[in-house]
Amino acid sequence: MKPVPLRRSDERLGAHVSTQGGVHTAPARAAAIGATALQLFTKTPNQWREPPLDPVTVALFQAEMESTGMQACVSHDSYLINLASPDRTLSARSVQSFIAELGRAERLGILYVVSHPGNYLDQRDRGLERNAANYARCLEAVPGRVMVLIETTAGTGTALGSTFEELAELRRLMPEACRSRVGFCADTCHLYSAGYDLVTDYDAVWDRWERLLGLESLHCLHLNDSKTPFGSRRDRHQLIAEGSLGPGPFRRIMKDERLGHAIKILETPKGDDPVTQDRKMLRRLRAYARGPGARRPANP
């Protein structure tokens, strides 16, 4: 399939793409949808098995990133990992798996690993402490440039990370030496479901983020509409502008200079034809970026 030409040399906009056939196949899939950035899994996300990453695959991945002109790549950790768990066996296995994830990213040259904070299961404060200690343990085990981007959550069940205050506390609990390798990923669906009203109070949401976390810590944005209403605390992604958020927040995000530095990744439903659907969503977002709308300066 002939790749869609990339639109802007400085743009970092894309989608989560498959690594079927090996991680080195992902950049070409991103190029085929017209992306300039991508997100991927470096292993099967619903299995504990840690397949070896051989030097040939690493070299092929890096060569494909260069030949396709991708501007950025982030990986996402396994769905099985729970670094806040009170269960010692699960905690130890999660630490081992996350260390392996960071190691693969470092070898591949991927600078960011997006990670859902854990489920505390017993007590929230204890869960935060375990979560912070385990993130720190993993970062110390894998020296280098790779950063952890802790993702905002929708607030379902005992999941940590649905409030900016909790994310700030999670980072604060980590040793100062590793905080420079900890940033954040904001998911628009999760924010809206958790009670951050991007539709009617857009600027207040990002002003609050700036006060509590600092916009410089926002390295990645997951752009997803929501199938459920505001404050639902449910994580159900929908196509851009076709859910409860509608087009408004995405028009503003694509023009907001405060968010211009963040890698922007689609995780919207792909249907039966992921190439066509992702292309359509990327075209929609680029149209928003070109269209009319006020830009708020990065440093007003």
Q: Which of 249, 246, 252, 239 lies closest to 283 in space, CA to CA?
A: 239
Q: Are 148 and 135 in contact (CB under 8 A)?
A: yes
In a domain, 107, yes or no: yes
d(CA 155, CA 43): 26
Residue 10, pLDDT score: 74
- In this prediction, the residues of the chain whose per-residue pLDDT falls under 50 are 1-8, 294, 296-300
Integer-rounded Cα Rg, in Å, for the chain is 18
Other beta carbons less than 10 A from residue 9's beta carbon: 8
Q: What is the pLDDT of residue 293?
A: 54
Kindly state whether residue 44 falls inside one of the protein's structural domains. yes
Cα–Cα distance, 14 to 99 (Å, whole number): 26
Residues in the chain: 300
Handedness of CA 237, 262, 40, 127 (dihedral sign): negative
The CATH number covering residue 228 comes to 3.20.20.150
pLDDT confidence of residue 300: 33
Pairing of strands 13-16, 182-187: unpaired
> pLDDT of 159-190, one tens digit each?
999 999 999 999 999 999 999 999 999 999 99
**Signed CA dihedral, 176, 181, 185, 190: sign only:** negative
Count of structural domains, the chain: 1
Position 299 in a domain? no
Q: How far apart are CA 146 and CA 142, in angstroms?
A: 8
Structural domain includes residue 5: no
User: What domain range includes position 171?
Assistant: 13-290
Instruction: Give residue 216's identity as a one-letter amino acid code.
Output: E
The answer to whether residue 1 is domain-embedded is: no
Which structure tokens are listed for 286? Answer: 């680029």
Residue 5: per-residue pLDDT? 41
DSSP 160-192: S-SSHHHHHHHHHTS-HHHHTTEEEEEEHHHHH
Indicate the angle between helix axes 124-141 and 88-108, nearest 10 degrees: 40
Answer whether residue 130 is part of any domain: yes
Name residues whose C-beta falls within 8 Å of residue 300's C-beta, 6 or more positions apart in sequence.
none
**pLDDT score recorded for residue 292:** 76
Q: At what angle do helices 164-172 and 202-212 cross, to 10 degrees?
A: 20
| Inside any domain, residue 275 | yes
Give the pLDDT confidence score for residue 258 in this predicted structure.
Answer: 97
Burial of 250 (0-12, 13-18, 19+ CB in 10 A): buried
> What integer pLDDT is reported at residue 299 of this predicted model?
41
Flag whether 233 is in a domain.
yes
Q: What secondary structure letter does DSSP report for 217?
A: G
